[in-house]
Structure 1
Amino acid sequence: MTEVYDNRVAGEDRVGNWMQTHSGRRFFPIDPRADEVFIEDIAAALGKLCRFNGHCRGFYSVAEHSVLVSMVVPREDALAGLLHDATEAYVADVIRPLKPYLAGYAEIEHRVWLAVAEKFGLAPELPESVKIADNAVLLREADEIMAQPPELWNVKGTPANVPIECWSPAMATTMFRARYTELTGEMVP
């Protein structure tokens, strides 16, 4: 029998257990709140998360992907583009073919997105331009950093004209933070 992990604080009215973030704070992925979302935690985590479950030719981070998406969309959607995968800082980067089969995952990810959106003043639904750019960057990544596929990917769109550089985790975190500052004028602690 698997032992249930329980680190809840007695008397605290929260659902589920908390995880510790990069900055040392608590975050409840099942009970997310906007005041517990921090850009420095998002940048650090996404900088270290490898896309495609690590099945690319070299390390390629979710942070680099996010920066590229933010550059492909119209300026008014750039912050949403940068943060479109911010949930993955708290609930992991689950590959697309697996997501529909993980019971409850979509709901958890959506609740985390709502906390992220509230924190950064974004709409609860991603702009269509972000969805299109996400696919366009994905298609460029498929061409540039993935092995020859056994068949065509079932992704609509045209590859984005962006450079895939495969930044190190430290560089990816730095570039994500810099892009956030460029878009908002706020320095990342």
Structure 2
Amino acid sequence: MNSILTFTGKHFNLYEPDADMIDPRDISHSLAQLCRFNGHTREFYSVAQHSCIVADLVQEELKLAALLHDATEAYLGDMTRPLKQWMPDYRGFEDVVWGRICARFDLAFDLPACIQQADLIALATERRDLMPTDPAIWDCLVGIEPRVETIRPWPAAEARNTYHQRLMDQLAIEHRRKAA
């Protein structure tokens, strides 16, 4: 078996992903159910909420890409950063699925540096607000300041609804922008 069954009932082939099978409802639902940090947060905190925070940190024309920057996880799951570095085959699958997401939503394959920076700011804020206190230095966060606002984790249903509404709003804005 090479496919997964998605929330909307689609069979998404992991070995030969089809951009037409990518559905915003599947992304919204799945990311809202996935807990960041493999669930090692003090309370449930979703990838969907994380993506909304990243989108809040970038300019208007990059919000769609920011919302979708972790959309591969809707199909492949979330893998911790240290393990992902040891799994080049996983990175290959991630790149293929990301390419199909980019094709589906007309995004550039390479994320702008400001989205990567916003992702790190979100990570620094999450570490401060959601993770156990630990004096260890995270090399990727050296020089990165967290947001001033404290994260209040959303329940999965709120994360799904908020993320999905924001995604649909951004898709409509992009459609109007391209039609103009």
TM-score, normalised by the number of residues in structure 1: 0.87
Once the 2 structures are TM-superposed, how far is the Cα of residue 178 of structure 1 from its aligned partner?
Answer: 1.2
User: Which of 19, 22, 25 is the matching residue for 2:10?
Assistant: 25
Report % sequence identity: 39
CA distance in 2 between counterparts of 1:165 and 1:179 reads: 18
Amino acid in structure 2 at the alignment position of 1:152: I
User: Which of 55, 58, 63 is the matching residue for 1:73?
Assistant: 58
Asked if the contact 1:73/1:130 (under 8 Å) is kept, the reply is: yes
User: Which of 150, 159, 165 is the matching residue for 2:146?
Assistant: 159
Structure 2 residue 155 is the aligned partner of structure 1 residue 168: yes
CA distance in 2 between counterparts of 1:53 and 1:93 reads: 7
Go from structure 1 to structure 2 and tell me whether the alpha carbon gap of 1:182 and 1:100 turns closer, same or farther (over 3 Å shift): same
CA distance in 1 between counterparts of 2:148 and 2:84 reads: 27
Structure 1, unpaired ranges of 5+: 1-5, 7-16
The Cα offsets for residues 105-131 of structure 1, whole Å up to 9 and x where unpaired, read as 001000000000110110011111110
1:11 alignment partner in structure 2: none
2:35 alignment partner in structure 1: 50
SS of match in other structure, 1:32:
coil
Once the 2 structures are TM-superposed, how far is the Cα of residue 160 of structure 1 from its aligned partner?
Answer: 2.7
Deviates more, 1:25-34 or 1:158-167: 158-167
CA distance in 2 between counterparts of 1:79 and 1:159 reads: 22
Asked if the contact 1:133/1:160 (under 8 Å) is kept, the reply is: no
Amino acid in structure 2 at the alignment position of 1:168: P
Matched positions, count = 171
TM-score, normalised by the number of residues in structure 2: 0.91
Q: Greater share of helix residues, 1 or 2?
A: 2
Structure 2, unpaired ranges of 5+: 174-180
Q: Which is greater in Rg? A: 1
CA distance in 1 between counterparts of 2:145 and 2:135 reads: 19
Q: 4+ residue runs of structure 1 moved beyond 6 angstroms?
A: none
